[in-house]
């Protein structure tokens, strides 16, 4: 009876040794997002994500910030050093440079950097 426990493991080893290139596992990683920004009013700490927009840039790569959920803007999908520009009517532009996105998850997805943008009323 104990021998039967090892048969699946032996089959897996045999599949790897015979040069099989078929995947043996399925990865369910979330999609790659490089930057998450939570825009808040610097005085009241209230969310000001509605109406906010901006860009993330890493070298020649540029992506828009998109409102995703619960007042979070997201953008980018690659590793790199980003400059982030956030604009919202009634507030000064918020800019961050040298934001390092350096980590990947076990399935190769980019792990996002999370930032809070305290916007100054204009």
- Domain limits, the chain: 27-119
Q: Report the pLDDT value the prediction gives residue 70, as an integer from 0 to 100.
A: 86
Q: What are residue 58's DSSP bridge partners?
A: 61
Mean pLDDT of successive 10-residue stretches along the chain, which has 122 residues? 45 45 67 95 96 96 92 96 97 97 92 97 94
Please state, in angstroms and rounded to a whole number, the distance separating the CA atoms of residues 62 and 77: 10
This model's pTM is above 0.85: no
Which residues are registered as beta bridge partners of 95? 85
Which of helix, strand or coil describes residue 56?
A: strand
The pLDDT of residue 23 is 55
Considering the domain 27-119, what is its CATH architecture?
Sandwich (2.60)
Q: Which of 99, 81, 102, 51 is nearest to 116 (CA)?
A: 99
């Amino acid at each position: 009876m104990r021998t039967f426990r090892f048969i699946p493991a032996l089959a897996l080893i045999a599949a790897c040794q015979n040069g099989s290139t078929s995947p043996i596992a399925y990865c369910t990683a979330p999609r790659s997002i490089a930057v998450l920004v939570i825009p808040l009013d610097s005085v009241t700490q209230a969310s000001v994500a509605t109406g906010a927009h901006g860009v993330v840039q890493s070298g020649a790569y540029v992506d828009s910030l998109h409102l995703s959920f619960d007042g979070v803007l997201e953008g980018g999908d690659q590793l790199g050093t980003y400059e982030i520009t956030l604009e919202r009517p009634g507030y000064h532009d918020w800019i961050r440079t040298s934001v390092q996105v350096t980590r990947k998850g076990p399935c190769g997805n980019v792990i996002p950097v999370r930032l809070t943008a305290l916007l100054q009323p204009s």
